[in-house]
Amino acid sequence: MLSIGHVNVASSLVLAPMAGISDLPFRLISRSFGCRLAFTEMISAQSLVRRNRTTLKMLSTTTDDSPLGVQILGGNPDIIKEALDILSVHAFDIIDFNAACPVSKVVSRREGAGLLREPALLQRLLEETVRNTALPVTVKIRSGWDQSSVNAEEIALRAQDAGAKGLFIHGRTRMQGYSGKVDYNIIRKIKESLTIPVIASGDALNPDLIGKMFDETGCDGVAVARGSLGSPWIFRDTAEYLKAGKVPFSPDVHERVQTMKEHLELLIAFHGEKTGVMFFRKFFTWYTRGIAVKRLRGRAFHAGTRGEMLGLIEELQTSPHGRDICSGE
């Protein structure tokens, strides 16, 4: 159970925001395997205020896609306030403020992880966010800008003082990006310092590592990102692991193929055939990780129609490599 403000979730696992990944189809597939709380892709407050068509589409949801958080990115309080006004008419349950994105063009605008170097400014932005929404506000941070300026504990306390109802912490610095070791110690220190829920992230790639994150940090929840790519059953498998201490077998080839088909159809329904098939190309690679089907991946990269992609998915059931490895044998 995870409680963020008035939002109570019957799971301690969260689907993290991922740019270009966690759209509505991906969230629905993840929810079918036990994901309870999910977040939209990161939403630029500036793009939202400009009514950018692509950004507005990212806000799409359904009644099956709940509870749902929306993550916003920004550094201008006036723009953030205007963006929150736009979001107020949508069916979201949580507002998450991004102070963790390491991308250079983001931090150069004093946004994302760039705010880790300006704790007082980040606190003011969070106070403004809390003041202008009725929803619980969370914030996503990193351990610091670099190893010489690990200040996550100070920032976490400022976020709590600003009224945040939860804190997401990636146990790496901005300069590390997604490489190097996750700092479990800083996450544990933050958990011990705060009274609000702490949701940890970083290398939550499989049930074993997620279990390690809980054990090493005492966190209230774990945000799953890269671990869900091509493996939406990570939510189901991790729940079983945390309950019984044992990881179940991976899905057999039939379940994997069925999941891929469902995901493809959801993408086509949401984006249209051309774009949906194009989006699925990267998912085909992720779904077939660990399977010696390089020939199929190459063809999937060039597939342009629903029929072509479905045919490649079907071939997994007749491929001896796909059949054996998918079944966990």
Residues 122-153 pLDDT 10s: 999 999 999 999 999 999 999 999 999 999 99
pLDDT of residue 323 exceeding 60, the answer is no
SS3 209: helix
Q: Which two tokens stand for residue 57?
A: 């589409």
Residue extent(s) of CATH 3.20.20.70 domains in the chain: 2-244
Q: Which of 114-123, 175-184, 245-254 has the lowest mean pLDDT?
A: 245-254
Alpha helices in the chain (DSSP H): 24-31, 45-49, 53-57, 77-87, 104-107, 119-131, 152-162, 184-193, 207-217, 234-244, 253-271, 273-287, 294-302, 306-315, 320-326
Residue of 81, 21, 19, 16 whose CA lies nearest to 45:
81
In order of 71, 198, 199, 314, the CA distances from 65 in angstroms are 15, 23, 20, 28
* Catalytic pick among 35, 101, 219, 326: 101
- Tell me: the pLDDT tens digits for 77-94? 999 999 999 999 999 999
- How high does pLDDT run on average in the chain? 94
pLDDT of residue 110 exceeding 90, the answer is yes
pLDDT of residue 322 exceeding 60, the answer is no
- Tell me: the pLDDT tens digits for 283-294? 999 999 877 678
- Tell me: the pLDDT tens digits for 5-60? 999 999 999 999 999 999 999 999 999 999 999 999 999 999 999 999 999 999 99
Active-site residue flag, 219: no
Q: How confident is the model at residue 251 (pLDDT cuts 50, 70, 90)?
A: confident
Fold of 253-326: 1.10.1200
| CB contact burial 79-104 (16+ within 10 A = b; e otherwise) | bbbbbbebbeeeebbbbbbbbbbbbe
Which is more confidently placed, 226 or 251? 226
- Tell me: the pLDDT tens digits for 195-209? 999 999 999 999 999
Written as one letter, the residue type at 82 is E
Residue extent(s) of CATH 1.10.1200.80 domains in the chain: 253-326
pLDDT of residue 328 exceeding 70, the answer is no
* pTM exceeding the 0.95 threshold for the entire prediction: no
* CATH hierarchy code of domain 2-244: 3.20.20.70
